[in-house]
Amino acid sequence: MSTTDAFAQAGKTAVLQNIHGTMAFLQKFPPFNQMDTAHLAYLVENCQLRFYGAGETILKPDDGPVEQFFIVKQGRVHGERPHSARRGTETTFEITTGECFPLAALIGERATRTEHLAGEDTFCLLLNKPAFVKLFALSNPLRDFALRGVSSLLDQVNQQVQMNA
């Protein structure tokens, strides 16, 4: 078994050992607090727990089309993009406990446009794309949450375009 497979198995085991605790944790945050218990159980049963050290890249555009749905269990994630006017990057958002990412890239079946970095030691629950797709089809609260998020991003882009025009 490769090291990657061993870490994945350990992460899966960690989640399965505490299904009820993980479900109770998720029920504190949208959209998970609106999901049917069976759908939430499916999500938890198909997740693995993964640790990222402070400063470690979690996800980046070069990784290609997104294959995982991430939920921050503990810690903080910064989104960084290259700065258009000067060298370097700028932090475009911060994701904290109970929040999830990258919905737009996952739904759009594309790579993320932002590098996601652990802002501190961070634990994430990871749900693979096939399980996310199934859950997306089953759970109206998850689907509504995801599509609202994507449409609000489109609204922001439209507002920026109008301001620049």
Rounded CA-CA distance 98/19 in Å is 16
Cα angle 100-32-62, degrees, rounded to a multiple of 5: 20
Length of the chain: 165
The reported pLDDT for the residue numbered 84 is 62
Instruction: Using the structure block, give the residue that is written with the tokens 């290609």.
Output: 64
The reported pLDDT for the residue numbered 93 is 87
What Cα–Cα distance (Å) separates residue 16 from each residue in 11, 35, 99, 113, 132? 9, 19, 21, 32, 17
Instruction: Using 50 as the pLDDT threshold, list the residues of the chain that sit under it.
Output: 150-157
- Superfamily, domain 3-164: Jelly Rolls (2.60.120.10)
pTM: 0.79
Handedness of CA 113, 74, 93, 132 (dihedral sign): positive
